[in-house]
Structure 1
Amino acid sequence: MIRFKIKELIAEKEFKERRKITLQEVSDSTGVNRTALSKMMNPSYEYSTTTKAIDSLCTYFDCNVGDVITHIKN
C-alpha cells in the first residue's frame, strides 16, 4: 500500500515557518485539488495521483519523493 505523508509535511512546515498552513493554501500553491489532498491524507482511502501532483508537492515542501509517499507492506 502507498501512504502519503501530507500531514507530517504540513506539520513540519508549520513548525519551521511558525504559522498555520491550511489545505487550501497547499492546494493554491501546488495546483493539487484540495479534495485530492484530503483523500491523500486519509490512511484508509486508497488514492491514485499523478507524478505532476507529487512533483508539485515536492517543490512546495522542498523535499524528495520519498518524503511525500512511502510503501507499506500489507
Structure 2
Amino acid sequence: MIRFHLKKLIADKEFAEKRRVTIAEISEATGINRMTLSKLINHPGHSTVTDNLDKLCKYFDCPVEELITYVKE
C-alpha cells in the first residue's frame, strides 16, 4: 500500500512558516480538488494520479520520497 505523508508535510510547513496551512490553500495553490486532498490525508490507501504527486511535490518543495512511501501489507 502507498502511504501519503501529507499531515506531516503540512505540519512541517506550518511550523516553518509560523502559520496555519489549510486544505483550501493547498487546493488553490495546486489545482487539486479539496475532496481529493482530504481523501489523501484521511483515507489510507486512497489512490491519485501522478500529476497530483508532481503538484504536491512542487507545493511542499520536496522529493516524492518525502510525500509517499510503500508499506508492505
TM tier, shorter chain?
over 0.9
Q: Distance in 2 between matches of 1:52 and 1:17?
A: 26
Partners of 1:28 and 1:67 lie apart in 2 by 21
Residue aligning to 1:42: 42
Identity in percent = 52
Which ranges of 4 or more aligned residues in structure 1 deviate by more than 6 Å? none
CA RMSD of aligned residues (A): 0.9
Query: Hey, what does 1:70 align to over in structure 2?
Result: 69
Q: Look up the match of 1:59.
A: 58
CA displacement, residues 21-44 of structure 1 (integer Å, 9 cap, x when unaligned):
000000100111110011001244
Partners of 1:10 and 1:31 in 2: how far apart?
17
Paired residue for 2:12?
Answer: 12
Q: Distance in 2 between matches of 1:34 and 1:8?
A: 18
Render the CA deviation track for 1:23-71: whole Å, top value 9, x for unaligned.
Answer: 0000100111110011001244x31111110000000000000111111
Normalising by structure 1, report the TM-score. 0.93
Q: Which runs of 5+ in 1 are unaligned?
A: none
Residue 24 of structure 1 aligns with which residue? 24
- In structure 2, how many angstroms separate the alpha carbons of the residues matched to 1:69 and 1:24? 21
